[in-house]
Amino acid sequence: MKKLIIIMFVLLSQPLWSQDKPATTPEKTKTEEETKKDKELKEKLKPYIALYKVQLAAVEKSITEKTELSSDTTKTEAELKELIASISELTKKKKELSDKISKLEGSPEEKDYKEIVKAEDEAKKKDALEKKAAPFIELYETQLESLNAQITVLNKALENKTQSADAADTALASITDLVKQRNELKAKIDHLKTNPQESDFEEGDNKKNKIDVKEARYTFLNGLNFDFTNSKTNYVGHFNVYVPCNERGTKVNPWGINAGILKVNYLTRDSIVNFNEQNVLINPLDNAAAPNDSYTRQYNRYSTSTKVTSTSLYAQPMLRIWKKGAANLYVHAHFELLWSKFETGTKVNTIQSDTVTIDITHPAPSQEGLIRNLVRETHQTINITSPHFGIGGTLDFNFLDNCILFLQPTIGIAINNVNRFPTQDADGNYSLQTYKKAQGFLLVRTYFQYATSKATQIIIGTDSRGLLPSQQPYLSAYVGLNLGIDQIFQ
């Protein structure tokens, strides 16, 4: 009885080929060009028709085999239901293939060919995505096994009643984080197995640029200073090794290190302008003491500017005191050897000049105040080495996968320094004075780092340095390209 029901179901599911087709209106006579296009279209469709016929034959064979299996009296009711459902699906597919073949062999249209090509392209893309997803799935499954192993180890550690409360809290926090990662991996694997999209792999490529604040960072920066006062640019170089605290395993080592060498050019607005009324000899070997001797009385403008270039060799042990998400806050000790080059330049411009001849109405000027030779432009360079010792705070904030904000204020004591305000000598020229004594200093370093790739990052930073309490900080603003040397050699 079951066999009869299945055979009747199959027969009733077949298309009724013997039905009379309704009368159709005669087609219009086609032009020679239309006939040629039809022939070309049918030629293009021939391989697809052949493919559909092969598929149709395979479906019919499968229907026949499953129908024969349904006559097996040993089959359970559940197995028979599964066979009936399978035969039903195959019958639908057989009808779809038959309709396609009839349409393509009868009166195909250009849109039919386009739909076939489109479906073929989509099938190829799907196949390509599945192949592309395979290594990712394998990688994620390996990572999933590793996460499960780590969770097992930490769970066993929690069962140890002898460990401290802090250790238990750390282990519990690690388990929570690992379980979250495991769930994310499971979702990724399921998605890639069922419905992979091209955007999944684009996201994977973008993750290659991710900056991990748990990993050591190596900086080899080459850049230029911003100079807002003129169009000149100066080279900035920075080599840095930044090792954060170690968070791997069940124990967290809160210590880290930040060390490097930085060469910057500071922007200075220390431009001193002064006006002096001066007596200047016409010729340096002249004397202006007797009647009929002459000299010039001048009203001069003195303009003095300062340029500062520094190279900093520094090391900073760090201790993490706070963490929230991707933000880490450290306290650090600061040890630095600072080489600085101070350059001052004074320019003299005469605003007004009168020649004076000594007579009864114009007595001889004071010989101490006479300038024999007025130098129009003078320069002074001071090189100074100064040890710096201090303490401060470090904020390392990985607020996006490929972006970091670094902020580091430091205060302390500087030994050996320069008075940034030049003093005037007897001739009216200005010069800097050095002091070998301890004085307070303030240093603020910041930078924004954007990863364009795993091996290169764009960095925009500032370096502000001053002596306390009287001298305002110098400022250096720069932009440059960082070459991640750890990635270049990988």
What is 25-46 written as a DSSP string? PPPPPPPHHHHHHHHHHHHHHH
Q: How far apart are CA 389 and CA 342, in angstroms?
A: 21
- Asked whether residue 337 is assigned to any structural domain, the reply reads yes
Return the pLDDT at 477.
Answer: 92
- Asked whether residue 67 is assigned to any structural domain, the reply reads yes
Domain boundary among 207, 232, 265: 207
- Asked whether residue 134 is assigned to any structural domain, the reply reads yes
User: 168 and 270: one domain?
Assistant: no
Q: How far apart are CA 54 and CA 87, in angstroms?
A: 18
> What is the domain count for the chain?
3
Return the pLDDT at 392.
Answer: 98
Return the pLDDT at 485.
Answer: 67
Contact criterion met (CB below 8 Å) for 475 and 442: no
Return the pLDDT at 19.
Answer: 43
- Asked whether residue 120 is assigned to any structural domain, the reply reads no
Return the pLDDT at 366.
Answer: 86
What is the per-residue pLDDT across 290-330, written as a single tens digit (0 to 9) for each? 899 999 999 999 888 888 899 999 999 999 999 888 899 99
**How do strand 456-467 and strand 430-451 relate by DSSP bridges?**
antiparallel
What is the per-residue pLDDT across 450-480, written as a single tens digit (0 to 9) for each? 988 777 899 999 999 998 887 888 899 999 9
- Asked whether residue 26 is assigned to any structural domain, the reply reads no
User: 243 and 316: one domain?
Assistant: yes
User: 140 and 273: one domain?
Assistant: no
For the beta carbon of residue 418, count every other beta carbon within 10 angstroms: 19
User: 203 and 221: one domain?
Assistant: no
* CATH number for the domain harbouring residue 444: 2.40.128
Q: The domain containing residue 154 runs over which residues?
A: 127-207
Segments in the chain below pLDDT 70: 1-30, 34, 161, 163, 199, 201-213, 228-232, 248-250, 269-271, 420-422, 424-431, 484-490
Q: Look up residue 469 and give its two tokens.
A: 């309490």
Contact criterion met (CB below 8 Å) for 177 and 248: no
User: 187 and 225: one domain?
Assistant: no
User: 199 and 267: one domain?
Assistant: no
Domain boundary among 207, 237, 268: 207
Q: Which residue has the tokens 């999209």?
A: 197
User: 103 and 132: one domain?
Assistant: no
User: 327 and 376: one domain?
Assistant: yes
- Asked whether residue 25 is assigned to any structural domain, the reply reads no
User: 188 and 323: one domain?
Assistant: no
pTM beyond 0.85, yes or no: no
- Asked whether residue 478 is assigned to any structural domain, the reply reads yes
- Cβ contacts of 59 within 8 Å, gap of 6 or more: 90, 93, 94, 97
Q: Look up residue 303 and give its two tokens.
A: 């303009």
Return the pLDDT at 394.
Answer: 97
- Cβ contacts of 258 within 8 Å, gap of 6 or more: 240, 241, 242, 243, 314, 315, 316, 318, 332, 394
Output 73-77 pairs: Cβ under 8 A, ≥24 positions apart: none
User: 165 and 35: one domain?
Assistant: no
Return the pLDDT at 428.
Answer: 57
Return the pLDDT at 486.
Answer: 59
- Asked whether residue 393 is assigned to any structural domain, the reply reads yes
Domain boundary among 144, 174, 207: 207
User: 250 and 384: one domain?
Assistant: yes
Name which of 457, 479, 490 is nearest 210 in CA terms.
Answer: 457
User: 231 and 141: one domain?
Assistant: no
